[in-house]
Structure 1
C-alpha cells in the first residue's frame, strides 16, 4: 500500500492522465494468465498475438493453464519469449480454478487475465499497464469485438499484430460490439459516473489487476464455474478498487458472444450464486428472513468489560431488525475462557462467558479477539458501542441514508454528555481505499471524506436507545410490521428503478436524436462550404470574363 497516489473520488478516474502509447517507459512486470480448455487452435493465435506486443518482452511473462485437456495442450511455434505451460492444480476444474492456478504460479506485479480465444492488438498490454504505473488500486479492462470464427493463421496474426494493423484481420462490419459492456459504459460516462457499482462490468476476458490487490480480495472464488468475474469485481471493489475501461486496449474475440446468445439461461444460473455473494444486489435478496453467505452489514461490538445484559440487549436488537442479512461480530478476550475448574457464580469472566453461551450457536454471530480493519466483502460495517440498541428498522434506514450520496462514513452521535459516544457506519469500499491512500501523519477520516464523504448525524432520529430503555424484541407484531415496511420500500425501489430505466431510455433516445442533429449539422456545414466554394469560383470566373462581356454588350447594343 502506497500513500501519495492519486485520490480518486468514487469511480471518477478523470484525475488520472495515462501517458500516450509508445511515449513512456514501462517498469512493472506483468503476468498474462490464460486459462485454456479445448481451444488449441485459438490459443495458438492468442500466443502469436502476444508475441507481437509493444510491451517490453523482458517485463512480460505468459502463463498458460491447461484446465485438464485431453490430449494435453502444447505450446506452438510462435510464442512470447517468457511463456510457461502449467497444469491446473488438482482438485477442481473450470475457468476460475484455472485462473487462480495461474495467478498462484505468476511472478508479475500485475496479473493480466486473458481468455484463450482472444487476439489482442499490438498495444493491448501496454494500454492497460500504463495505468498500473500510476496507482496500485486500479482494475483496467480492455475493449473487445466479437469476430467471426474464420480463423487466420498464426503467422498472419503475428505479422498483423507486430505490424500494428490487427484491425485488418477481420471486416469491421461483420463483427459485433460488446453490447452489455459498451451500453453500461456509455450510460455512466465510461464508468466515471458510477460511484459504487462499476464492478458490474468487470470482465475477465481481458482485464488487469495488481497481484497485491488480487490477494487482498481473496483471489478467484474457485467454487464458481460461471459469474466468477462479477464476484471478483465485487470483492475487488470492497478493497477500494477503481474500475477503468481503456478503449485503446483493443482485441478481437474469436467467435460470437455466448452470454448474449443465452442471456436468460446465464442469468438463471448466475443469480442464485451472486445473490449469496454480492449484498449490493438488493433486488436478488427479497426474502425477509434469509441468511446469506456475505452479509449486507457487519455489526461490530466490543464486549470486553461489558455487563452481559448490555451485550444481550445490543445483539438481540440487531438480530431482531431489518435487514436480516446481517452479522454481529463480538470482539473480546475469548481465549481467556478456559475449561479450568472455577466458581460458576464468582467467575471474573462470567459476563463474557454468558455472552458466548448465548450466541455460540447463532449462525449470524461471530467471535473474534481483534476486529479486522474492514468487514470485506460485506458492503457496510456498523461499529456499535455495547449497551446501545437499534430500533427494528434502524439499519435499513441508516444504510439507505448513507446511499443517498454514497457516503463513506456516517457517524451517529448516541450521547453528547461527558465523553462523546457514537456509532459509526462505514462503507467497506471507502475505508479500504482510504487505508491504501492515507499518509503517515494523516487522519483516515480526512482521506475518506475526500474520496467518498464523511457525515455526522444524531442517533435519536434513527432509533438508538440505551439498553435500560430498550423494550425486548417481540417476535410477532413488530416483525410483521417491519416486514410490511420492508416490502413497501422494496416496492418503492422497484418503482424508482422502473422510472430510472424509463428515463435512461428517454435519455438514450434524446442522445440519439442529438447525435443525428449533430451529424446533420456537420453535413449542412459541409454542403454550405461546398456551395460557398462553388460561389467563389463562379464569381472569379465572372470577373475574369467581365471585359469580354462588356465588349459583346457594346457590339450588340446600338
Structure 2
C-alpha cells in the first residue's frame, strides 16, 4: 500500500466529536501513511538505569520517523546519576530535574520545558514499547488536535533481557516474544472500563479515569492549556492531570494496537490498597468528578464542582444577598460563588455612609468579603476550569436547597453541555439561569469558527438543553420563605 501523506487538518474541518465518541474517526493503517507531526517522548526516571536502558533501546527501533521523534530523559535526582546507554533514539537528551522539587510530575514539567514536539508523549522508564507503539498513538493526533491517546500495557516481572536483545526484537517486530505472554497480565481495571464503554466512546464524562502516565500522548498546546502536571502529587498525578485535560475539552482514546510491556514490580498489584489510601485524599481535593470521594455533607474542597456567578454591579443589595445566601444553603456544598462587580472602583476616604451612591455595592462586599466560599471579582474568565460547572444566575432569583445537586446529577447522567433554565419572560426577553459544563465550553471554543455562535458548537459536541427553571426550584426572592428582601 502506498503511504498517503497526512495533511494538516484545517480548523474549519476539524472533526467535532460528541462527548467522547471517537468512533467518528478512522485512523490510518499502521505503516501505510506518512506522518508530519513531531513528538517529544518525555521519560521521568529515578534510579532506574536498568529498565531505562530497555525503554530507550525500544524507542530506538520505533517505526515512527526518527527525524520526527525526540526523547528527553529527566534524571529526578537519584544517586548515582543516570547516563545515556549505547542504544538510544537519534535525538535523545538527558537532563537533570529542575531544582526545588522531585517526583514524576516535577520531572515531566522539566522535560516539557525542553521539548519541541507538536505532541508530548509521556513514557515511564520501565515501559518497553513495541515497534509501532509511538506510530499507533501518533496516527490519532493527525486526525484531531484535542485527543489524549493511551496504549495497552501488559505487566511482567520476568528476568530482564539485554538492551541489545530488546532493540533486535523490537526492530524485527518481535517485541511480543520478549516475555512469556501467558505469565503476564493486562491492566485489568482499564480493560474492564474500556470493555464497558465501547472503547470509551460511551464515557462522555469519566473517560479521563483511564489516563495513565505509563504511556500517554497529547498535543503540546493541550498539555499547557491544562496547566501541566501537578508536582504536589507524588502519586495519582496522572488521574488528576487527566481530569484537568478533560476540562480543556480533551477526548480520550485508548488504542489497543499501541502495545507495550511494563517490566518489574507493579505498585498497584503489590501495594494497591496502600496506594489508594495515599491517593484518595489528594484526588478528593482536586477531582470533583470523582463524586464518590466527596461524601461529606458539608465540607469544602480545593477544587469545587460548581462555580456560581452572580452579578452585583448596579444591582440593589437585597436581591444579591438573597441569591448568594440561597446558593450557600445548597445541599450540595461543593460550590463557590463568584460575585462580580466593579470592586476596585469603590471610592475610599470620607463619605456620607447613608447617602453613598456606591452603598449597595459596599453592602454586598461587607456581607461576603470574609465568607470563604464567596470570591469578589471584576470579571470572570471564559470558563470555570478546573471546576466542572459554572452556573450563572441573575440576582433576585433563588434556588431551592436541592436545585444545584439535582442539576449536577442530571447534567452528568445525561452528559449535558449547557442547561438553560427559563425563569421568566419580560416582553421579548427570557430571563434565564445557565449551567455550563466546563469541558463542553472549552472544546467548543477550540472548535468555534469565526462568527459562529458558541452555543451552536456546544450543541454539536455535548448538547444544549432548555429547562423550566421553577420546575428545578428557582423562585423570585419575594416568594422565597426565610429570605426576605428587606
TM more than 0.5: yes
Aligned 8 A contact 1:3 1:436 in 2: no
Between Structure 1 and Structure 2, which shows a larger proportion of helix residues? 1
Aligned 8 A contact 1:63 1:85 in 2: yes
Report the equivalent of 1:527. Answer: none
Aligned 8 A contact 1:322 1:393 in 2: yes
The Cα of 1:279 is off from its aligned counterpart by: 1.1
3-state SS of 2:218 partner? strand
Q: Alignment partner for residue 423 of structure 1, among 428, 433, 444?
A: 433
Q: Alignment partner for residue 14 of structure 1, among 13, 23, 27?
A: 23
Report the equivalent of 2:479. Answer: 469
The Cα of 1:446 is off from its aligned counterpart by: 1.5
Q: State the distance in 1 between where 2:356 and 2:220 align.
A: 48
Aligned 8 A contact 1:108 1:211 in 2: yes
Report the equivalent of 2:464. Answer: 454
Report the equivalent of 2:269. Answer: 260
The Cα of 1:338 is off from its aligned counterpart by: 4.5
Distance 1:177 1:334, change over 3 A: same
The Cα of 1:110 is off from its aligned counterpart by: 0.7
The Cα of 1:359 is off from its aligned counterpart by: 1.0
Map 1:355-394 → 2, pairs under 5 A: 355-394=364-403
2:69 is aligned with 1:27: no
Map 1:307-318 → 2, pairs under 5 A: 307-318=316-327
Q: State the distance in 2 between where 1:413 and 1:132 align.
A: 40
Q: State the distance in 2 between where 1:186 and 1:306 align.
A: 53
Q: Alignment partner for residue 109 of structure 2, among 97, 100, 113?
A: 100
Distance 1:158 1:338, change over 3 A: farther
2:140 is aligned with 1:159: no
2:190 is aligned with 1:175: no
Q: State the distance in 2 between where 1:436 and 1:385 align.
A: 27
Note the residue ranges of structure 2 that are not aligned, 5 or more in a row: 1-9
Q: State the distance in 2 between where 1:339 and 1:322 align.
A: 38
Report the equivalent of 1:332. Answer: 341
3-state SS of 1:396 partner? helix
2:214 is aligned with 1:205: yes
3-state SS of 2:40 partner? strand
2:58 is aligned with 1:49: yes
The Cα of 1:473 is off from its aligned counterpart by: 5.5
Report the equivalent of 1:128. Answer: 137
Report the equivalent of 1:435. Answer: 445
3-state SS of 2:414 partner? coil
Report the equivalent of 1:489. Answer: none
Report the equivalent of 1:352. Answer: 361
Between Structure 1 and Structure 2, which shows a larger proportion of strand residues? 2
Q: State the distance in 1 between where 2:32 and 2:379 align.
A: 48
More displaced 10-residue stretch of structure 1: 238-247 or 437-446: 437-446
3-state SS of 2:360 partner? helix
Deviations 1:183-204 (A, max 9, x none): 1111111111112111111111
Pick the structure with greater CA Rg. Answer: 1
Report the equivalent of 2:288. Answer: 279
Report the equivalent of 1:513. Answer: none
The Cα of 1:152 is off from its aligned counterpart by: 1.1
TM-score in terms of structure 2 length = 0.94
Note the residue ranges of structure 1 that are not aligned, 5 or more in a row: 475-558
Aligned 8 A contact 2:71 2:92 in 1: yes
2:159 is aligned with 1:150: yes
Q: State the distance in 1 between where 2:113 and 2:476 align.
A: 49
Aligned 8 A contact 1:381 1:426 in 2: yes
Q: State the distance in 2 between where 1:30 and 1:115 align.
A: 16
Aligned 8 A contact 1:55 1:126 in 2: yes
Aligned 8 A contact 1:276 1:294 in 2: yes
Aligned 8 A contact 2:122 2:216 in 1: yes
User: RMSD across aligned C-alpha pairs, in angstroms?
Assistant: 1.5
Q: Alignment partner for residue 128 of structure 2, among 119, 122, 142?
A: 119
Aligned 8 A contact 2:190 2:210 in 1: yes
3-state SS of 1:248 partner? strand
Report the equivalent of 2:6. Answer: none
